[in-house]
Chains A and B, each alone.
Chain A
Amino acid sequence: MKTEIIIAGFGGQGVLFLGDLIAYAAVKEGRYVTWVPSYGPESRGGTCNCQVIYADRPIGSPAIAQPDILIVFNKPSLEKFLPRLKRGGVLFYDNFLVKERPEREGVKIIGVPAFQLSKMGNMAMLGAFLAVTKEISPETIYQILEEKLKGPKAKFIPINKKAIEDGMKYIQKQGDQDATN
């Protein structure tokens, strides 16, 4: 089993952190993992992406040609990466920030108004990702948040958790309503 994920958006939307969190959770659950950021000037507002692979055996190339899962938060990223999404793959996109519904046959398309559900739109999207893929346990994510946010930062744990839960609830409520093709 090998899952390849590309996450993309504007710098500042928490794209790298979201990928890092998924990757670290997969490490905690005993998988082999790689995470590669785009490391240019994106942190100052350009488009930014990261590539996450988790697998049950050692990983060859850390670079992803055709992802199984694509998570995007803006239109330029959608246009760049959607053609590369594997047949049978899953697209998660912020359907408030990307107004037009993406067109692509043979993939599952899931719109989540992530940055409407929460200020921490990346965490809301993570909730949706967890609920749809069921490959990583939310408990592992919560454990990591508690590990990373310590001392004065501990007060941010509840809002992060809530954003994740809101994302999961959105999927449970919507079901596959927004998922076609």
Chain B
Amino acid sequence: MSRLYMKGNEAVVEGALRAGVEGFFGYPITPASEIIETFAEKYFADREREKRGEKPLYPKFRVFMQMESEIASINAVMGGAAAGCRVMTASSSPGISLKQEGISYIAACELPCVIVNIMRGGPGLGSIQPEQGDYFQAVKGGGHGDYKLIVFAPNSVQEMAEHTMLLFNLTDKYRNPGMLLADGYLGQMKESMEFPEVPIEEYDKPWAITGMGEREKQNTIEFLFLTPEPMVEAKKRLLEKYKKIEANEVRYEAYKVDDAKILVTAFGTPSRVAKAAVDLAREKGIKVGLVRPITLWPFPYKIYRDLVTHQIDRVLVVELSFGQFVEDVRLGVEGKAEVKLYPRFGGIVPTEEEVLEKIMELA
């Protein structure tokens, strides 16, 4: 297999194009800017090909727009998704905050789309260095109302592509928006990779607003109910869907947990550091393993519950924020093990040795 070498942000674009993305709408921001730049490059190269009478490389990718703001971008995504197209936007933390109203509306209208958040330091304008402080915003709902995004947390450049492709499949399958949640390191890092094999699934969208056509009644999409009964029905439908996703789409990686007494858990870049630290601790004879959630919603509560029920009594949580992810770990652990938090924030990723030290303190 041929080995590639590219930036995380470029891998997102490559994954999206292979998944048949039809429209991209965005506004640049560090450290996510290479996503819009790469989309622009690919889009205009295809238009040049057409001018020369050649076939475009990505015939489905027909709309690229640098919008006037993040708010405009998310609303353009709403329109494109309502028309039944595979569409996406990308930004970084402050830009994602601006998109929240649109994200809530998109979730309400059950419109499939992919939103990429290459997290930087917050709150406010914060910094451009990597953090994971948008965890709550992504998995607990950053906009108003009861809703859920399908959230993937890649930890390599290869997964930046793979998870983007998976998100296009799953968001269409469940008619629900999804988010790729990666820290700044993953966007900016270049890494050796192999292109993942993800079969592209296509779903009929009979609900899409595509004009009357042969229909007897015009399709409309709305989520405003002035009386309770239809609202109750609509929300029941959402709840049923969320339960189905929770039952079917949990993904995680478990590493060296079989005989482990101590568990380290992390997502994104810290999970790579933690994995290397687990190897270092194993060399010292410490029985330690790693659980890395791949989907942050639905969250893999069960693997934590199972592990602490039978063998593990100490859990170390490593995250690039004050302690957000740790709350979901605690929900999974249900008080059956000691949970210790190792938070790093401000843009510094802990070293393998530092995580090893924290493991040793627990051992």
Contact = CB atoms under 8 A, between A and B. Distances in A.
A31 B3 CA distance: 10
A62 B192 contact: no
B122 interface: no
Contact of B191 (A34, A37, A40, A61): A34
Contacts of B352: 60-61
Interface in B238-260: none
Interface string B331-363: 000000000000000000101110000000000
A27 B273 contact: no
A63 interface: yes
Nearest to B127: A40
B128 interface: yes
Given A24-B5, A60-B273, A65 B189 contact: no
Interface of B: 3-5, 30-31, 128, 184-185, 188-192, 269, 272-273, 275-277, 279, 349, 351-353
A87 to B, nearest CB: 15
A140 to B, nearest CB: 13
Interface in A31-46: 31-37, 39-40
A59 interface: yes
B185 A62 contact: yes
Given A24-B5, A39-B30, A61 B189 contact: no
Contacts of A34: 189-192
A63 B192 contact: no
Contact of A37 (B4, B188, B275, B279): B188
A35 B189 CA distance: 6
Contacts of B276: 60-61
A23 interface: yes
Given A23-B190, A36-B188, A39-B30, A61 B349 contact: yes
Contacts of A31: 192
Contacts of B3: 27, 30
